[in-house]
């Protein structure tokens, strides 16, 4: 993140925040109202309803497979020379499925197409639900509890996905790459909107409201405005006189 929040880039952040003075009257209030008062951001509305529909389909598919296969986790996978129960196979399959999804995203993050990242992240989300059922097949206390958490608590899959996104962005170069950082941030917002549309829209509305309040303060408070202008001048002079390569 040095390429985004490093001291050499503070002048750009100063300029970006200064624009709120000109956007505070019409633009920022309109964007805030769109996210706060628009009934569009509801889990029952398209396209957000696709997530709940796919979740239901996966639930029915997993239950059908469990009933058809009649998987017995305690039955022997190997009985000689060592005894290995079938639940070991479920764990191995689960790890292979999860590893394949993660490797897909690491590769997608290095590509130039934003759509690759978004599609792969949604695949990872639904893979997590499949993982929950695979783990549940084991009927082993702690593992079964983890599987139930993934299948019965939608927030669990969401937060795991956000943590995975955070880690994968840094694997993809988010520490030193503006592109990887901003792509990761955009993807996090889009995924949050799809999985938790109402809550995410409220957070976004509050974010734009904060920018509007900042712009109003900057425009109406003369002492704050003077101090802000001095800070900008210092940052600009520091940037212009720096001998480091741009």
Report which of residues 122 and 227 the model is more confident about: 227
User: In the prediction, which pLDDT does 241 show?
Assistant: 83
In a domain, 97, yes or no: yes
Mean pLDDT score, 91-114: 70
User: In the prediction, which pLDDT does 49 show?
Assistant: 83
User: In the prediction, which pLDDT does 119 show?
Assistant: 74
pLDDT of 30 > 60? The answer is yes
In a domain, 226, yes or no: no
Report which of residues 170 and 101 the model is more confident about: 101
Q: How many domains does the chain have?
A: 1
Report the distance separating Cα 56 and Cα 29, nearest Å: 37
User: In the prediction, which pLDDT does 128 show?
Assistant: 72
Q: Residue 107 sits in which domain range? A: 46-195
Residue 76, preceding bond cis, omega within 30 degrees?
A: no
User: In the prediction, which pLDDT does 79 show?
Assistant: 59
In a domain, 4, yes or no: no
Structure tokens at 98: 């999860």
In a domain, 76, yes or no: yes
The alpha helices in the chain, defined as continuous H runs, are 2-5, 10-18, 20-23, 27-37, 49-69, 87-109, 114-136, 141-152, 154-171, 178-195, 197-220, 222-241
Instruction: Report pLDDT digits (tens) over 219-232.
Output: 999 999 999 999 99
In a domain, 219, yes or no: no
Mean pLDDT score, 8-29: 91
User: In the prediction, which pLDDT does 173 show?
Assistant: 54
Mean pLDDT score, 159-181: 66
Mean pLDDT score, 205-209: 95
């Amino acid at each position: 993140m040095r390429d985004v929040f490093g001291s050499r880039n503070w002048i750009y952040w100063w300029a970006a925040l200064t624009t709120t003075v000109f956007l505070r009257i019409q633009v920022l209030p309109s964007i805030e109202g769109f996210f706060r008062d628009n009934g569009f951001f509801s889990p029952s509305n398209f396209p957000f309803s696709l997530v709940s529909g796919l979740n239901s389909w996966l639930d029915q598919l997993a239950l059908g497979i469990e009933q058809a296969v009649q998987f017995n986790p305690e039955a022997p996978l190997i009985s000689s020379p060592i005894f290995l129960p079938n639940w070991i196979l479920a764990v191995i399959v689960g790890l292979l499925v999860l590893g394949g999804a993660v490797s897909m995203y690491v590769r997608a993050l290095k590509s130039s197409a934003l759509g690759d990242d978004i599609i792969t992240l949604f695949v990872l989300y639904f893979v997590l639900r499949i993982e929950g059922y695979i783990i549940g097949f084991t009927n082993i206390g702690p593992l079964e509890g983890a599987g139930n958490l993934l299948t019965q608590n939608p927030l669990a899959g969401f937060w795991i996905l956000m943590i995975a996104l955070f880690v994968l962005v840094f694997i993809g170069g988010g520490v030193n790459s503006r592109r990887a950082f901003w792509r990761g941030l955009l993807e996090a917002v889009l995924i949050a909107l799809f999985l938790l549309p109402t809550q995410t829209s409220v957070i976004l509305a509050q974010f734009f409201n904060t920018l509007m309040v900042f712009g109003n303060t900057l425009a109406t408070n003369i002492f704050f405005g003077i101090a802000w202008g001095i800070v900008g001048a210092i940052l600009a002079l520091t940037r212009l006189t720096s001998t480091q390569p741009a």
